[in-house]
Structure 1
Amino acid sequence: MTPMHIRNWPGQTERPALALHCMMGNASYWGPIAAGLANLVQITAPDLPGHGQSPDWPGEPDFHTHATRLIAPLITRPLDLIGHSIGATIALRIAVAAPEAVRSLTLIEPVLFAAAPDPTAETELETIRRLSLDGMDEEATRQFLSLWGEVDLDRQTTTGRARLIRQIAMVVSGNDTLMRDSANILREGGLEAIDAPVMLIMGGDSPPVIGSIAEALAERMQEVGLATVPGAGHMLPITHPDQVAGLIRMNIEQS
């Protein structure tokens, strides 16, 4: 059994789908999207380590590798793989390693910064890293959420605020994979080997680096679509679930 907490929604059990959430989120936000796709697929979603009801990240290996190792065994037959933010990069890592396990791949706001190096993003994430290493986790969390979470730390409950601040260590740990591709996701021939339909979904109001990343990934993929949700930011699975579900449906129906 996986040590992660797993959430399941009603749907077409003969067509399984796996959804991976963002950093500092939890799997519950896939609920409206799962409902919108229930006549097509049955969505399962884990709470990533240190999130939701799952046990804490143990501190090693790095967060990205640890999460990937726990998620991979959940895939026992080809399925529709969906990911958001860091969840999208984990989904991509799995698809590159085992393209035969993926029936369709939907990547929402993938934050694989190594695909399109951006000085602004690098500076922002390095600032967050330095703040955390210097013991200023609260300020590091506040800056991270202002950029990628669309959440005001100061308006959270005491418990929620403490949890978010505790999670900043996972952000810092995961950045080596995202910024420098220490997992070698972008290796030669890797993206090209994915022969399932791929959909890259972006928010129209997201940081510009997201569009650059999506375009860089798309250039190397066989069957890929790019879609932008107007008026949406990085957290579009939460703020625009109907539009996101519709785009996921389009991609799944191609496979």
Structure 2
Amino acid sequence: MSALHLRRWPGNEDRPALALHCMMGNGVYWGPIAETLRERARISAPDLPGHGQSPDWEGTMPDYHTFVTREAAALIDRPLDLIGHSMGATVALRIAVAAPEAVRSLTLIEPVLFAAAPEAFNDALLDDVAARLAAGEDAEAARAFLGVWGGLDWDSQTPSGKARLARQIHLVQASNDALRRDTANILRPDGLEAIDAPVLIVMGEDSPPVIPAIADALAARLPDVGRARVPGAGHMLPITHPRQVAELIGLNLDRA
């Protein structure tokens, strides 16, 4: 059984769904989406290791992405609708590749599987984050990363908030092998092609340019895939545009 802290919102008990949040977030932000979809699905959302109310990751084997995937997969006891945002979307995709029979529908919001479409600006950013961490500049590493991927004003964060983000930036670094080099082997031959559930890839109109490139690469291999772009939204669209995201998830639920 997973040790992750799990939130469950009221909803359609005959249609379970699992939602996986982004790096440096927590499961709380799925609440408005779960409320909008309550007649159609019952959404549960864990806090990933080192986030929210879940235990910290101890930094030992297996690697962080594998550990998160195992903990999330342990929450699945029957076929369900799987939803993921950012790093959570890569975990959802990894589960779907490994066990396609467990997934009724798959909604990938801003999947950051950088190995699918390497891009120079993003590579430079992640290399800069790694260099700052190696120099002990945790807060500056977090600030640089969130300036592109976080959609928040660093200077407006409380001291405790900045300290939390400075701790969690190490989890971003710990995910790099899986996301940048695909050590999880998500992109293996015939892996994406084996997902027979309907897939929807959701992006923000103003997201970093690597995101549509990743979407192109994934969509080219998925048998049943749709794509949607939310106007005026960036990478954090489940938080900034929950109504539009909920409507899109609902469309994919209907396709299953």
Alignment TM-score > 0.5, same fold = yes
**SS at 1:81's partner residue?**
strand
Measure, in 2, the Cα distance between the counterparts of 1:206 and 1:29. Answer: 19
Partner of 2:4: 4
1:174-223 residue CA offsets vs partner (Å, 9 max, x unmatched): 01111000100000000000000000000000011100000110000010
1:237 matches 2:232: no
1:133-212 correspondence runs (5 A): 133-212=134-213
1:121-178 residue CA offsets vs partner (Å, 9 max, x unmatched): 1111111011112211111000011010011222111211111100011000001111
Measure, in 2, the Cα distance between the counterparts of 1:24 and 1:242. Answer: 22
AA paired with 2:186? I
1:29-81 residue CA offsets vs partner (Å, 9 max, x unmatched): 00000001000000000000000001111112321111111111111100000
Partner of 2:41: 41
Measure, in 2, the Cα distance between the counterparts of 1:134 and 1:71. Answer: 33
Partner of 2:53: 53
Measure, in 2, the Cα distance between the counterparts of 1:142 and 1:182. Answer: 27
Measure, in 1, the Cα distance between the counterparts of 2:176 and 2:123. Answer: 10
TM-score normalised by structure 2 residue count: 0.98
Measure, in 2, the Cα distance between the counterparts of 1:202 and 1:229. Answer: 6
Partner of 1:25: 25
AA paired with 1:36? T
**SS at 1:44's partner residue?**
strand
**SS at 1:237's partner residue?**
helix
**SS at 2:141's partner residue?**
helix
Measure, in 2, the Cα distance between the counterparts of 1:2 and 1:179. Answer: 26
Partner of 1:86: 87
User: How many residues are aligned here?
Assistant: 255
**SS at 1:253's partner residue?**
helix
Measure, in 1, the Cα distance between the counterparts of 2:127 and 2:227. Answer: 29
Structure 1 gaps, min length 5:
none
RMSD of Structure 2 on Structure 1 (CA) = 0.7
Structure 1 runs of 4+ aligned residues shifted over 3 Å read: none
AA paired with 1:6? L
State the shift of 1:2 in Å.
2.0
Measure, in 1, the Cα distance between the counterparts of 2:44 and 2:162. Answer: 27
AA paired with 2:35? A
1:95-134 correspondence runs (5 A): 95-134=96-135
Measure, in 1, the Cα distance between the counterparts of 2:221 and 2:98. Answer: 16
Measure, in 1, the Cα distance between the counterparts of 2:198 and 2:137. Answer: 43
Measure, in 2, the Cα distance between the counterparts of 1:57 and 1:246. Answer: 34
Measure, in 1, the Cα distance between the counterparts of 2:226 and 2:103. Answer: 16
